[in-house]
Structure 1
Amino acid sequence: MVSHLGNLYDSFPTQGICTYQLYGERFTKLSKSVPKHNATPKLFIFPPDLLKKSILISDRICWIRALISNRLIEGKANQTTIQTVLPYSVQCDRNTSQFTLSRSILAYHRVATSLDAMDSLEENDVSSSPTTRMDRCDRVKENNASGGEGVKPFLELFVKASGIDNRRIGACLFCQEFWMELYALYEINLVRVEVKTVNVNSEPFKRSFLGALPPILVEPDKELMYTDNREIERRIFHIAKEFSVPLFEKDITVDKSIESLYRNFKVFLRAKTDYERENEQPSSVGVPTSVVPAYNKLVEQLTSIDKRNTRYLVGSTMTMYDCELMPRLHHIRIAGQHLCAFEIPHSLVHLWNYMLTAYRTAAFIESCPADQDISYHYKEQLNLPHRQKEYLQMPIKTHTIPDEALENIKQLGLDKL
């Protein structure tokens, strides 16, 4: 459904909305629409083992995620300064209220946020949702000012947040699929994109989006909102077609090979979990007899996908088929391991090589949820008990493949595709 936004943003709860801004490998999380004041801030940068810690900046609070040196530094923004930290340096510019760290590691944009606002943020709804910006605003402004480029379409994609903390990326397949397609257009400098995670159970979100569920695509410049998956796909398709990008190239063979794969996995997953729920002791023969048909059908379809000899499904570049299959294969791998001890056979060398390609594809990496969120997603669907300890751990993303599969790939020279 495509609808006009009208006064949506006037009523949308903006105070405390968090934003992840992406510039290469730089991340920052900040709050918008909070009144500024003149208190002098300090910048604290923490080592990797202290990621995602609350940092008090005067009477402001922010969250910083950085991949930097192993020691703490402090910089004051009362003047332009440069401090060296091992091979990295931090530049503090009072005029632009921006801290930058060389080597594209960290960019922190100072934003005034009261402690009260941040406290309410933790318990909030849509306003607690992080955002990933992929528009490289500074470059766009420079290019437009110099007449080098026209104005690029600006799109906002609202995706489902994690069921664990209602903030990070959730395990919604359609959300990731559209995110990857938009990222493909962003990578070749055709669009500006902002991706926001939203808590679908929050009242402000329900009021603002009239009961629609993610994924939701918004075009602020045109005051349009797309809430139907087919409409979202159509809008992305038209942008790709306008610039002759082969993102939606059709291939009947590929289409047939991946059709119903995910449905077959869900049938197997439910059959296996139902068996284990009814039998307290796990099966000692691997796959129980009652589950064998579903298991064989799943492996048979995975084997059919294995019969390929290209980097991506259609060729050397990513298409809509990859945006559909890569997330589903990853869910099959992670949920299968966590919930029913299923592992994709190592003998499917081409398939594992394809998954290795996914783990090296920026569009997949940026949009991929944590293993814990994938596990949580399927436990919710299957009404399985949760282990609280698992969700208190640091989020993990498995983007490696088994050593045996990797060795087989190297022996066949597939890693050079």
Structure 2
Amino acid sequence: MSDDGADVANGTQQQEETSDIPKFHLYIRASLIDNETQGACPMSQQGFMLSYILAQEKNVDFKVWTVSQVNPPSDFKDKNQAKVYPFIEGISGKDISGQSIAGFMPESADKVEDFFDSVNFDCPHLKRPKNLKDHILGKIDGISTQFNGFMKGVKSENVLTNILQKVEDHLDSNGTTFLEGDSLSYTDCFLLPRLQHIVVAGRYFRDYKIPSSMKNVWRYLRDAYDTPAFSETLPTDDDLLKFHWVRFADTSEFRKKGIKGVFGVDQAATRTNKIPDEISNILDNSNVASNGDQEDDEPEYENQPESEEQQVADD
């Protein structure tokens, strides 16, 4: 685990110790490759994104720490007996009810969600939707289950494509940049980390590509990559791939393809943080967008070297 957590968002949160602004430590799963940098757990990235945005809006002050999955420190195991990720440790300050958060430690994932709502003073769009019946989150909350089934070879790609079509239709009808408006919401923080897994791991292991006809989904991804709360919390592609490699049995469909599963060996740490140029051209050119031949293109994803300013604490 990191010896000194990293401040994030604007890098200048230096609140007075007597401030009522909630101050906490955020613990996320570390890389399965180096056991130090940020790992690929989508729940961890979701919590990281929420914390990042709340810090940008001056609602909270936090530091992020990575926890090795191979050998987590004994004192952390004592704190996090429920093995909840992301894990929160309240340091100081008060929540929206005026209660101190000092010493807060969640006992379940639901308690983590409750905590984020309790320190959210000014960002109603980051609140969890209460009624999912007619909400887009209720239509896509099974995306991880569908994707995992597809990765294991027990579900067809049509099941995954169908749930992405719901995102496409929602964005088309709303006409907004993101799922609930023109700024990132709780629902975006839920979907985007999981969408990144589909983009990177789905293509690598199962040759799955989001259809080029889903222009709203691609535009959504392009705008998200331009948003620091998403782009600065992305795991490396290698770590994301290993995340899936270690989770599935040897009988999994993608292992039958003879993939060696060697990740992070003598390779530059890269992140997919840009949509394919040919897809971007389609989005920018309405005439090209109407050309059905474009749907047969096989986009090549672009990777960028890991930034030296990556805001995740080292061990």
TM-score range, shorter chain: 0.7 to 0.9
The answer as to whether partners of 1:216 and 1:227 remain within 8 angstroms in 2 is no
For 2:276 and 2:239, the matched residues in 1 are separated by 21
Q: Which residue of 2 aligns with 1:297?
A: 159
Amino acid at match of 1:209: K
Amino acid at match of 1:189: K
The alpha-carbon distance between structure 1 residues 181 and 411, as it changes in their structure 2 partners (threshold 3 A), is: same
Q: Which residue of 1 aligns with 2:43?
A: 174
Q: Which residue of 1 aligns with 2:196?
A: 330
Amino acid at match of 1:202: N
For 2:61 and 2:216, the matched residues in 1 are separated by 34
Q: Which residue of 1 aligns with 2:275?
A: 401
- The yes-or-no answer on 1:157 pairing with 2:26 is yes
More strand by share: 1
- The yes-or-no answer on 1:306 pairing with 2:168 is yes
For 1:266 and 1:331, the matched residues in 2 are separated by 10
Amino acid at match of 2:70: N
Q: Which residue of 2 aligns with 1:220?
A: 91
The alpha-carbon distance between structure 1 residues 349 and 378, as it changes in their structure 2 partners (threshold 3 A), is: same
- Alignment partner of 1:394: what SS? coil
Alignment of 1:2-13 (within 5 A): none
Of residues 384-393 and 293-302 in structure 1, the stretch that sits farther from structure 2 once superposed is 384-393
Q: Which residue of 2 aligns with 1:246?
A: 125
- 241, 246, 255: which one aligns with 1:380: 246
The answer as to whether partners of 2:168 and 2:216 remain within 8 angstroms in 1 is yes
- The yes-or-no answer on 1:198 pairing with 2:67 is yes
The answer as to whether partners of 2:202 and 2:209 remain within 8 angstroms in 1 is yes
Amino acid at match of 1:219: G
Instruction: Provide the aligned length of Structure 1 versus Structure 2.
Output: 261
Q: C-alpha root-mean-square deviation of aligned residues, in Å?
A: 2.5
Amino acid at match of 2:106: Y
Q: Which residue of 1 aligns with 2:58?
A: 189
For 1:261 and 1:183, the matched residues in 2 are separated by 24
Q: CA deviation at 1:331?
A: 0.5
For 1:330 and 1:350, the matched residues in 2 are separated by 16
Higher alpha-carbon Rg: 1
The alpha-carbon distance between structure 1 residues 20 and 344, as it changes in their structure 2 partners (threshold 3 A), is: same
For 1:410 and 1:224, the matched residues in 2 are separated by 48
For 1:174 and 1:22, the matched residues in 2 are separated by 18
Specify which structure has the bigger relative contact order, considering alpha-carbon pairs within 8 angstroms and separated by 6 or more residues.
2
For 1:265 and 1:326, the matched residues in 2 are separated by 14
Q: Which residue of 1 aligns with 2:186?
A: 320
Q: Which residue of 1 aligns with 2:79?
A: 209
Q: Deviations over 1:2-59 (max 9, x none)?
A: xxxxxxxxxxx9xx814444474xxxxxxxxxxxxxxxxxxxxxxxxxxxxxxxxxxx
The alpha-carbon distance between structure 1 residues 372 and 325, as it changes in their structure 2 partners (threshold 3 A), is: same
The answer as to whether partners of 2:5 and 2:63 remain within 8 angstroms in 1 is no
- Alignment partner of 2:62: what SS? strand
Q: CA deviation at 1:409?
A: 1.4
The alpha-carbon distance between structure 1 residues 389 and 159, as it changes in their structure 2 partners (threshold 3 A), is: closer
- Alignment partner of 2:242: what SS? helix
The alpha-carbon distance between structure 1 residues 301 and 203, as it changes in their structure 2 partners (threshold 3 A), is: closer
Normalised to the residue count of structure 1, the TM-score between the two structures is 0.58
Q: CA deviation at 1:344?
A: 0.9
Q: Deviations over 1:270-302 (max 9, x none)?
A: 10xxxxxxxxxxxxxxxxxxx7x6211211221
Q: Deviations over 1:84-110 (max 9, x none)?
A: xxxxxxxxxxxxxxxxxxxxxxxxxxx
For 1:260 and 1:203, the matched residues in 2 are separated by 30
Amino acid at match of 1:264: Q
The answer as to whether partners of 2:57 and 2:122 remain within 8 angstroms in 1 is no
For 2:137 and 2:5, the matched residues in 1 are separated by 36
Q: Deviations over 1:193-228 (max 9, x none)?
A: 111001133252454435342321010231121141
Q: Which residue of 2 aligns with 1:44?
A: none
For 1:322 and 1:203, the matched residues in 2 are separated by 30
Of residues 324-333 and 296-305 in structure 1, the stretch that sits farther from structure 2 once superposed is 296-305
Normalised to the residue count of structure 2, the TM-score between the two structures is 0.75
For 1:315 and 1:249, the matched residues in 2 are separated by 15
The answer as to whether partners of 2:25 and 2:90 remain within 8 angstroms in 1 is yes
For 1:326 and 1:210, the matched residues in 2 are separated by 26
Structure 1 residues without counterparts, runs of 5 or longer: 1-12, 25-133, 272-290
Structure 2 residues without counterparts, runs of 5 or longer: 93-101, 250-254, 288-315
Q: CA deviation at 1:330?
A: 0.6
The answer as to whether partners of 2:35 and 2:70 remain within 8 angstroms in 1 is no
Q: Deviations over 1:51-98 (max 9, x none)?
A: xxxxxxxxxxxxxxxxxxxxxxxxxxxxxxxxxxxxxxxxxxxxxxxx
Q: Deviations over 1:346-374 (max 9, x none)?
A: 11110001111211111112221000000
Q: Which residue of 2 aligns with 1:17?
A: 3
For 2:73 and 2:281, the matched residues in 1 are separated by 51
For 1:198 and 1:156, the matched residues in 2 are separated by 12
The alpha-carbon distance between structure 1 residues 177 and 216, as it changes in their structure 2 partners (threshold 3 A), is: same
Alignment of 1:56-75 (within 5 A): none
Of residues 358-367 and 248-257 in structure 1, the stretch that sits farther from structure 2 once superposed is 248-257
The answer as to whether partners of 1:347 and 1:405 remain within 8 angstroms in 2 is no
For 1:197 and 1:203, the matched residues in 2 are separated by 10
